[in-house]
A and B are shown apart, each in its own frame.
Chain A
């Protein structure tokens, strides 16, 4: 096995550094609201990180390309699964708008649940108001 590719130590450290930086970036970005771009940014950064891990830590960059093909294939089939399922779930309302969402918008057991405070303890119905929309607050 003396012929195996040996990656220089520096490469690993640089990649790990990049992964830490990208983690910091994605957390930092999440404090701003870009609307629907939030998901795209978060997934874009995650995909970039995942690519680094796969290519360098998992050695796909230097490996037999069969292994890379296998990995890409897994993502391709996952893509097929998601896309084609969404062709159904995303377009159900086309003919009959009533069936656009799952039938029970709110499961019955919620009706018997008491309101709670943030520690999960039941509170008096009139104590806390349940309409607080402070979604940017972490």
Chain B
């Protein structure tokens, strides 16, 4: 054991260049995590700034122009720089080859390139912020985005570049999942997180090219007036929305599918029970990925698209509910009669179930054309979106981070603090966003810095709880970082949750630089709690 402790990917090889030029998927995953957390923090500060402004009706703290910049940057940073790359880039990179028993992803150099492309795109976004921001909203709708004097071009350029990073990650993962599995690891023996990453990667490579070309067209529209999106030149601004949402609706599934995968891992492990409906969960992932391509027009019900397509989009939208429901029920049935232990990852997973279900059900409201015409661009949409993206993806991300932290860092955080933070996140989140459903139903439009005094009370609640939410997430992450102090190393054989996927059973914590000392031999499926007993071990 003592020898193993010397050989792990964190300490071997040494030197800053060995990190910056590493081809090791685990190190690249950590660098993605680092980048993602920085932008998560930045986006979070912007969000709290907005809530501060909205605590009272007037322009107490920001001008309208500043507010426009702040919500645009909050949206763009959170979506393009944090949520989309965070789970596949950080946790996916870290875990995928380990779960497959492989030494690395299929194309390690592309993997590193993908990280640096992400960094380059992020630099464009940072430049946009320094140069004075952008005020179009993260959707960059034309015609305003072709006439706005703010920094639309650097921002869209940044998104264009980050798109390539996303494509390369997706491409890499697809090749990895198809070709890098150890012998005997057939499709139905894969952990469900791998299925989720597979679905995500398919969406990444099919949808992302379209946002790239959309951004190019938008930039050209500004530079040359090509007349494709500009109505004054014979173009059609609604066509821009088609282009944008052909990517951005599937992108919602790029954000949520990996979260589903994390939940599918956490729940059976912490319930000590075989997952219920493995194939249902696996195939519902693929069907969500596919149906996600057919429903983009439900973002455009008030845009002036044809009535015919409104009906079609509304109809197909409801189909998304089916595979999603299948997943939710499968997770609940997995817990049924299991030995559920309320560890921090499990608490996050339970929060996810609750919050995501609210997010999903309110999505059903918004899918109905008639109701959407009332609710479009109100706080109801804001709340729905945050219940899915934050209550879903970010909570799952935090859960996954807590679940795999001992594996990747070889250290255990303070579990009591982590559980309290999870509770804080749950309460703070509901306190922040539930009032926004009510605000939206009462007609409060999104994207305004000021509002009618009748909305003041609910806004005030929302702002108060957003402080709790922000603080809880901050402490949760500090708690994780605090566990990294020197005196807190775990024994390399630690498997604190008694999980039975390959990354827990066949390699040390933190893993060996080449993942496994020898190629693992598959002894059981990923969730065979009914057949094999894997005891939780937790030693300092």
Chain B's interface size range is 20 to 34
Q: A95 to chain B: which residues have CB within 8 Å?
A: 307
Q: How far is the CA of A88 from the CA of B241 in the complex (A)?
A: 11
Give 28 CB contacts A-B under 8 Å.
Answer: A73-B206, A77-B293, A80-B294, A81-B210, A81-B246, A84-B296, A84-B297, A84-B309, A85-B242, A87-B312, A88-B238, A88-B242, A88-B306, A88-B309, A89-B236, A89-B239, A89-B306, A90-B306, A91-B306, A92-B305, A94-B307, A99-B304, A102-B234, A102-B235, A106-B234, A107-B233, A108-B232, A109-B233
Q: Which residue of A lies closest to B179 (CB)?
A: A66
Q: How far is the CA of A84 from the CA of B312 in the complex (A)?
A: 9
Q: A88-B309, A104-B233, A107-B234 are in contact. Are A80 and B293 (CB under 8 A)?
A: yes
Residues of A within 8 A of B306 (CB): 87-92, 94
B281-321 interface bits toward A, Cβ cutoff 8 Å, 1 = contact, 0 = none: 00000000000011011000000111111001000000000
Identity of the chain B residue whose Cβ is nearest the Cβ of A110 in the assembled complex: B234
A74 near B: Cβ within 8 Å?
yes
Write out the residue numbers on chain B whose beta carbons fall within 8 Å of the beta carbon of A84: 294, 296-297, 309, 312
Question: Which of A66, A88, A94, A108 gathers most chain B CB within 10 Å?
Answer: A88
Partner among A66, A85, A90, A91 whose Cβ is within 8 Å of the Cβ of B239: A85
* CA of A57 to CA of B235, assembled, Å: 39
| A67 → chain B closest CB, angstroms | 10
Q: A102 CB to closest chain B CB, in angstroms?
A: 5
> A105 an interface residue at 8 Å Cβ cutoff?
yes
Chain A contacts for B307, CB-based, 8 A: 91, 94-95
In the assembled complex, how far is the CB of residue A107 from the closest CB belonging to chain B, in whole angstroms? 5
Q: How far is the CA of A29 from the CA of B236 in the complex (A)?
A: 33
Q: CA A130 – CA B231 in complex, angstroms?
A: 26
Residue numbers in A under 8 Å from B293 (CB-CB): 77, 80
Nearest CB of A to B235, in Å: 6
Shortest CB distance B214–A (Å): 11
Contact of B309 among A74, A77, A87, A104 (CB under 8 A): A87
Find the residue from B235, B293, B306 having the highest chain A CB count within 10 A.
B306
Whether A103 pairs with B239 at a CB distance below 8 angstroms is no
B308 near A91: Cβ-Cβ < 8 Å: yes
Residues of A within 8 A of B236 (CB): 89, 102
Central interface residue in B239, B294, B308, by most chain A CB within 10 Å: B308
Determine the distance from Cα of A108 to Cα of B304 in the docked complex, in whole angstroms: 23
A37 smallest CB distance to B (angstroms): 26
Give Cα A77–Cα B242 distance, bound, in whole angstroms: 14
Given A106-B234, A107-B227: A88 and B297 interface contact (C-beta under 8 Å): yes
Known: A89-B236, A102-B231, A102-B234. 12 other contacts (CB 8 A): A80-B293, A81-B246, A84-B294, A84-B297, A85-B242, A87-B308, A88-B305, A88-B309, A90-B306, A91-B309, A107-B227, A107-B233
CB-CB < 8 A to A88: which residues of B? 238, 242, 297, 305-306, 308-309
CB contacts (< 8 Å) of B246 on chain A: these are 81, 85
Minimum CB–CB distance from B6 to chain A (whole Å) comes to 39
In the assembled complex, how far is the CB of residue B199 from the closest CB belonging to chain A, in whole angstroms? 13
Please indicate the chain B residues that have their CB under 8 angstroms from the CB of A74 in the complex.
Answer: 206
Residues from chain B with a CB closer than 8 A to the CB of A92 are 304-306
Q: Say whether B524 faces chain A, with CB atoms less than 8 Å apart.
A: no
Compute how far the CA of A107 lies from the CA of B296 in the bound complex, rounded to whole angstroms.
Answer: 29
Task: State in angstroms the CA–CA spacing of A84 and B291 once bound together.
Answer: 13
Q: How far is the CB of A110 from chain B (nearest CB, A)?
A: 9
Nearest to B236 among chain A residues (CB) is A102
> Which 6 pairs show the lowest CB-CB distances between chains A and B?
A91-B306, A88-B309, A87-B309, A88-B305, A91-B308, A107-B233
Does B109 count as interface, using CB distance less than 8 angstroms? no
Complex interface residues of chain B between 339 and 387 (CB less than 8 A to chain A): none
Smallest beta-carbon distance A69→chain B, Å: 11
Q: Are B231 and A104 closer than 8 Å at their CB atoms?
A: yes
Alpha-carbon separation in the docked complex, A49 to B305 (Å): 36
The complex places the Cα of A121 from the Cα of B235 at a distance, in Å, of 27
With a 10 A CB-CB cut-off, give which of A66, A91, A95 has the most chain B CB atoms: A91
Let me know if B178 is at the binding interface, CB within 8 A: yes
